[in-house]
Chains A and B, each alone.
Chain A
Amino acid sequence: MFGAAIIVFRESLEAALLIGIIAAAARTLPNRNRWLWSGVAAGVAGALVVAALAGSIAEMAGGMGQEMLNASILGLAVIMLAWHNIWMARHAREMVDGAKAIVRDVADGRRELSAIMLLVAMAVLREGSETVLFLFSLASQGESTGQVLTGGALGLAAGAVVGYTMYTGLLHVPVRWFFTVTAALVLLLAAGMAGQMARFLIQGDILPPLANPIWDTSAWLSSNSAGGTLLHVLAGYDPRPSAMQALFYLGTIAVIGLGMYLVRSPSPARASA
Chain B
Amino acid sequence: MNRITLLAVLCLPLAAFAADPAEVPLTIKNHRFEPAEVRIPAGQKVKLMIHNQDSTPEEFESHELNREKVIPAGAKSAIFIGPLQAGKYPFFGEFNEATARGVVIAE
Which residues from chain A sit less than 8 Å from chain B, CB to CB? 62-64, 66-67, 142, 199, 202-205, 212-213, 218, 222-224, 238-242
Contacts and interface: CB of A to CB of B under 8 A. Distances in A.
B86 to A, nearest CB: 14
A63 B77 contact: yes
Nearest to A67: B69
B54 interface: no
Grouping DSSP codes into helix (H, G, I), strand (E, B) and loop, the A interface class, with mixed when no group exceeds half, is: loop
B72 interface: yes
B25 interface: no
B66 interface: yes
Contacts of B80: 202-205
15 contacts: A63-B72, A63-B76, A202-B80, A205-B21, A205-B45, A212-B83, A212-B84, A213-B66, A218-B63, A218-B64, A222-B63, A238-B66, A239-B63, A240-B63, A240-B64
B43 to A, nearest CB: 11
How extensive is the interface on chain B, given as a class? 20 to 34
Interface string B24-47: 000000000000000000000101
Interface of B: 21, 45, 47, 59, 61, 63-64, 66-70, 72, 75-80, 82-84, 94
Contacts of A199: 66
A240 B45 CA distance: 17
Contacts of A64: 77-78
Contacts of A203: 67, 69, 79-80
Nearest to A228: B63
A247 to B, nearest CB: 15
A212 to B, nearest CB: 7
Contacts of B79: 203
A145 to B, nearest CB: 13
Contacts of B45: 205
Contact of A66 (B21, B63, B70): B70
Nearest to B63: A223
A240 B65 CA distance: 9
A242 B66 contact: yes
